């Protein structure tokens, strides 16, 4: 005997209710979003500069590591709606960000104790860029890259105010949040960072970097924070990253990142091998030739012809840094 629409609906509801009873997590009966986390107040209304910085540092310094294999990366020019992304961080300079699709890797950004690297499959021209930390601090490449590689750690929520830098504020903004201005010394001259902080919970909502010429270089805007139930520490969950000089923008969803978990496999911190991409040391004074296709030496092997070529400015950002 065939069922009409009402009978099918009743059966579906019965099956869903049974599934929920046994823990499968069917969501048809309750589509309400979980309530937002409640973050405890840690600042008084008249908190001083040192008190605000201490509150931010107290949370960040307890985050020794974090990892997630459920992150998502999305933005203009990305070949799909979002890239499946893995992010692992260990103090102090170990960071690995890989993103891709079922067809292969699209992005690999990393740092270990000695050096950092950038690789984007669709970058035009193709290259695996790297530099030692101690050489980047004085090489010409520091003028070309939009931000110091350590910026990614800050952007993901590990924000610390160093006692060796100059800090001013906190200035209260029209929206009630606090803004601290930090002056940093770079190989090219002093740069500025502005950090926007909640006046009660000390959550970091915005970070804006300005280069030595006073131009905005990068921004990290947190759209959603997460209170980790195991450590009671706070991390961003959804972050908008913007690099105006390179015309790059992207959104990163970290998901429910694991905080202070077991150490990662040591092999994760090795720079990847990309045999069909030229390896370019940013400390080499002649490194810029890679950005001029006519000047690329013949020994630089081109990527496989089967790889799609870059079709959007999002993946050509390094060209704009010259």
pLDDT tens, position by position, 162-217:
999 999 999 999 999 999 999 988 777 888 999 999 999 999 999 999 988 889 98
**Closest-CA residue to 126 (of 22, 279, 288):** 279
Q: What is the pLDDT of residue 4?
A: 54
Q: Which of 131, 158, 146 is nearest to 281 (CA)?
A: 131
Task: Note the pLDDT of residue 290.
Answer: 59
- pLDDT above 70 for 262: yes
CATH of domain 49-259: 2.50.20.10
Range from 27-36, 217-226, 265-274 carrying the lowest mean pLDDT:
27-36
Q: What tokens appear for 45 in the block? A: 């209304």
Q: Which two tokens stand for residue 191?
A: 């740069």
- What pLDDT band is residue 26 in, cutting at 50, 70 and 90? very low
- Across residues 255-279, what is the average pLDDT? 92
**More reliable by pLDDT, 202 or 34:** 202
Looking at the DSSP bridge assignments, the partners of residue 120 are: 107
User: How distant is the alpha carbon of residue 102 from its chain centre?
Assistant: 21
* 277 neighbors 296 (Cβ within 8 angstroms): no
| Residue 17 binned pLDDT confidence (cut-offs 50, 70, 90) | very low
pLDDT of residue 283: 84
Distance between CA atoms of residues 159 and 138, nearest Å = 24
Residue 320: pLDDT over 60: no
Instruction: Please give the sequence-ordered ranges of beta strands (E in DSSP) within the chain, or none if there are none.
Output: 65-74, 83-90, 94-101, 104-111, 115-120, 128-132, 166-172, 178-186, 189-197, 204-210, 216-227, 234-243, 248-253, 258-259, 279-281
Task: Quote the pTM value.
Answer: 0.77
The whole-number pLDDT of residue 25 equals 41
Q: How far apart are CA 191 and CA 70, in angstroms?
A: 34
Residue scoring higher pLDDT (6 or 185): 185
216 close to 208: Cβ distance less than 8 angstroms: yes
- Banded model confidence at residue 269, pLDDT cuts 50, 70, 90: very high
Q: Let me know: does 257 contact 235? Beta carbons within 8 Å.
A: yes
Contact 156, 254 (CB under 8 A): yes
pLDDT at residue number 224: 95
**Is residue 231 within 8 Å of residue 220, measured between CB atoms?**
no
């Amino acid at each position: 005997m065939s069922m009409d629409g009402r009978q099918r609906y009743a059966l579906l509801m019965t099956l869903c209710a049974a599934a929920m009873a046994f823990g499968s997590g069917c969501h048809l009966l309750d589509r309400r979003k979980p309530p937002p986390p409640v973050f405890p107040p840690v600042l008084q209304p008249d908190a001083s500069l040192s008190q605000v910085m201490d509150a931010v540092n107290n949370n960040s310094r307890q985050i020794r590591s974090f990892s997630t294999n459920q992150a998502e990366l999305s933005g203009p020019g990305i070949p799909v709606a979002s890239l499946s992304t893995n992010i692992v961080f260990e103090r102090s300079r170990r960071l690995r960000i890989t993103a891709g699709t079922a067809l292969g890797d699209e992005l690999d950004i990393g740092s270990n104790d000695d050096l950092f690297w950038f690789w984007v499959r669709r970058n035009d021209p193709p290259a695996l860029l790297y530099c030692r930390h101690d050489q980047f601090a004085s090489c010409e490449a520091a003028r070309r890259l939009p931000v110091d590689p350590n910026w990614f750690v800050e952007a993901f929520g590990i924000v610390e105010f160093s006692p060796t830098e100059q800090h001013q504020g906190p200035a209260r903004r029209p929206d009630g949040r606090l803004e601290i201005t930090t002056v940093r010394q770079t190989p090219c001259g002093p740069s500025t960072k502005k950090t926007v902080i909640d006046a009660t919970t000390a959550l970091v909502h915005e970070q804006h970097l300005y280069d030595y010429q006073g131009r905005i270089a990068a921004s990290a805007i947190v759209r959603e924070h997460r209170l980790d139930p195991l450590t009671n520490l706070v991390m961003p969950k959804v972050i908008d990253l913007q690099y105006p000089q390179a015309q790059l923008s992207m959104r990163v969803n970290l998901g429910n990142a694991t905080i202070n978990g077991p150490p990662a496999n040591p092999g994760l911190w090795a720079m990847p091998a990309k045999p069909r991409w030229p390896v370019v040391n940013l400390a080499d004074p002649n490194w810029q030739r890679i950005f001029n296709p006519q000047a690329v030496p013949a020994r630089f092997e081109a990527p496989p012809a089967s790889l799609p070529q870059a079709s959007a400015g999002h993946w050509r950002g390094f060209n704009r840094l010259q």
